[in-house]
Structure 1
């Protein structure tokens, strides 16, 4: 009897993927929790806190997204290299 070719592998939860998920989740939680930054003070160069807090998250979110991408990409490369493929 011939066996069917192996199908796609189920997703595997690893510590690297958990860290990547937390990197992606942090900006979402921080910006959806509006009560934490819905105020005017402290102002930064005349810009109310409400606005500069959100804008400060733009480069932070970009850095966290890049970090998550690098972590997952590195793990995928190591996993494929370990299988001999």
Structure 2
């Protein structure tokens, strides 16, 4: 049985967090800090107002900081996306 989408999905902007060396220039940034920066940059690249975002999906390889457990939710909120937006 094939899954049928009931509405279209559009990816209008995407950014990724940088790679760094262990203990390097990024050591003082949490995973949430970096993801928030990527969220803001993706919305800016696409010219999308945070109020227009209706879903957030974040891929995270490992929880590298204590605030990474809910990284999609926290970074979305920090980027100005509405708290009612599903993640």
TM-score, normalization by structure 1: 0.29
TM-score, normalization by structure 2: 0.28
Give the greater-gyration-radius structure (CA): 1
Q: Which has the higher helix share?
A: 1
